[in-house]
Amino acid sequence: MIYFDNVSKYYADKSIALREITLSIAPGEFVSVVGHSGAGKTTLLKLLLAEERPTEGAVYFQSTDVHRLKRTHLTRYRQKMGTVFQDFRLLPNRTAYENIAFAMEAAGRVDEEIASDVPYVLDLVDLREKMWNFPNELSGGERQRVAIARAIVNQPDVIIADEPTGNLDPINTYEIVQILKKINDLGTTVILTTHNKGVIDSLGRRVITMDSGKVVRDDASGRYVL
């Protein structure tokens, strides 16, 4: 479903972020990407989201080159991707409910769907009672659950989680990983980057290890080895 074809990315100052990456991800997989800071994990995800362009090579999603999409199609494409970040990236002026509703509005969903789906996903992340709180009234773990709810509400094909547990304590980390697993069990592909050895070892799924912009290991049922 996702295919990186010999992708390299250099920045303007000649620093190399990615070097000849070739890898594919099948539908329904739960892939973890691990590596030191600066190994190229985030760049890999940015290329997949078409936030940045590769210097060489191409990234395919369901056989289309995502960097050749027109702006209007790019919007559609991003609606198929649910994203979760370390810093949550919620809209500070909107309540938990409105943050999730915004993603649905942007996708052009009607009010009835929004009214029924938003409470449903909030239930899924166990946050229904905080629906009308603003992000600054929520804890880190709660904010991340809102972000996950927002990521899944449009039923995306892929969930991209860039160090979602980076700012969380072990208990919240465990809960977030459990939610991601649940989402994966429901059939959504999940791509997770993390530093957390415990998370990787407990998952027992495919692990891609990166170092200095290259894939150094790709294990079907890997452990965190660095």
Which stretches of the chain bind another protein, using CB under 8 A? 49, 51, 71-72, 75-79, 81, 83, 89-93, 102-103, 105-108, 110, 150, 154
Q: Which ranges of the chain would DSSP assign to H, the alpha helix? A: 41-48, 71-79, 96-106, 111-124, 140-152, 170-185, 197-203
- Name which of 46 and 217 has its Cβ closer to another protein: 46
Contact between 65 and 59 under an 8 Å Cβ cutoff? The reply is yes
- Name which of 20 and 51 has its Cβ closer to another protein: 51
- Name which of 64 and 75 has its Cβ closer to another protein: 75
As measured in angstroms, the least distance from the Cβ of 98 to another protein is 8
As measured in angstroms, the least distance from the Cβ of 155 to another protein is 12
- Name which of 116 and 221 has its Cβ closer to another protein: 116
As measured in angstroms, the least distance from the Cβ of 119 to another protein is 19
- Name which of 151 and 180 has its Cβ closer to another protein: 151
Which residues on adjacent β-strands are paired with residue 158? 81, 189
CA geometry: angle 66, 71, 77, nearest 5 deg:
45
Nearest to 153, CA basis, from 127, 191, 135, 133: 127
How far is Cα 20 from Cα 79, in angstroms, rounded to an integer?
A: 28
As measured in angstroms, the least distance from the Cβ of 78 to another protein is 4
As measured in angstroms, the least distance from the Cβ of 97 to another protein is 13
Residues contacting 45, CB < 8 A, separation 6+: 33, 160, 162, 191, 193
How many Cα atoms occupy the beta-carbon half-sphere of 95 within 13 Å? 12
- Name which of 106 and 186 has its Cβ closer to another protein: 106
Nearest to 114, CA basis, from 123, 124, 102, 129: 102
As measured in angstroms, the least distance from the Cβ of 1 to another protein is 18
Beta strand 16-25 pairing with 2-10: antiparallel
